[in-house]
Amino acid sequence: MINVQIDVPEALLPYVQPKDEQEELLRNAMMIYPFIKNETISYGRAAEILGVHKLDLIELYGRLGVPYFNQTKEELEEELRTIKAVMMRHGV
C-alpha cells in the first residue's frame, strides 16, 4: 500500500477515513468501480488490486446494488443463442 493525499470537502472526511479493514475495502472498491464501469479494468484486475477474490468483489458490489451484468435482456438472450449454437456445433 501507498499513502495518497487527495483534497475532499471537509464534511466528507468522516466518510473517507475507514474504521476497519472492511470499511477500507468498501471505500477502495467504490473508488475503483468507475474504472470497471468504463471498462478501463476488469473485475478480475480490480479484485487483484484490492487483494480479494473476484467473486467476493462481485458479491460486495451486488450487496450495494451494483449489477455485475450490464447487458440488456436482448443482448443476454443473443449471447445465450450464440453459446447454444457453438455448443451444438461441437456436440456438447
pTM over 0.85: no
pLDDT score of 69: 79
pLDDT score of 91: 84
pLDDT means per 10 residues in the chain (92 residues)?
Answer: 88 88 94 94 95 95 88 84 91 80
pLDDT score of 59: 94
Stated as kind and residue range, the H or E segment containing 29 is helix 21-37
pLDDT score of 79: 85
pLDDT score of 41: 95
| Torsional sign, CA 7, 9, 13, 17 | negative
Please state, in angstroms and as integers, the Cα–Cα distance from residue 69 to each residue in 8, 37, 48, 90, following that order.
Answer: 31, 10, 19, 27
Q: Kindly list the domain boundaries of the chain, sorted by start residue.
A: 18-89
> Is there a contact between 27 and 16 (Cβ–Cβ < 8 Å)?
yes
